[in-house]
Amino acid sequence: TYVVTDNCIKCKYTDCVEVCPVDCFYEGENMLVIHPDECIDCGVCEPECPADAIRPDTEPGLDKWLKINADYSEQWPNLTTKKEELPEAKEFDGVEGKFDQYFS
């Protein structure tokens, strides 16, 4: 599976949902997550994210994000079409450690 990581938070550009063939993105207030059982590992979303927030789970160090994607994709609603990014997206793109302050 692919996972959405920290830099999506407070940006939420949503370009990723536009290209996903199986519509497996789920939307929180400040970020999206991928449902690990629905993702078919096609990889097309990864280069589409302007914030470079999507990673394959084959990369090391993603345990925390794997769990977050798995847990919240069961709770948040499905998002299947692109919408406006968050108004503060540019300002928050690349800010370190957004999870602790802004995850929602």
Sites of contact with ligand F3S (CB under 6 A) = 4, 8, 11-16, 32, 49, 51, 53-54
- Give the residue from 35, 21, 19 showing the smallest Cα distance to 76: 35
Say if residues 50 and 13 touch (Cβ distance below 8 Å).
yes
The distance of Cα 20 from the centroid of its chain, to the nearest Å, equals: 12
* Binders in 21-40 for ligand SF4, by CB under 6 A: 21-22, 24, 34, 39-40
Q: What is the DSSP string of 35-57?
A: -TTT-----TTGGG-TT--EEET
Question: Which residue, 52 or 63, has its beta carbon nearer to ligand F3S?
Answer: 52
Q: Figure out which of the listed residues 2, 13, 65, 72 binds ligand SF4, where binding follows CB under 6 A.
A: 2
Stretch that binds ligand SF4, among 5-13, 19-27, 68-76, 94-102 (CB under 6 A): 19-27
Question: At 23, which amino acid appears?
Answer: D
Least distance in angstroms from the C-beta of 100 to ligand F3S? 18
Q: Is residue 47 a contact residue for ligand SF4 (CB under 6 A)?
A: no
* Binders in 60-99 for ligand SF4, by CB under 6 A: none
Say if residues 44 and 19 touch (Cβ distance below 8 Å).
yes
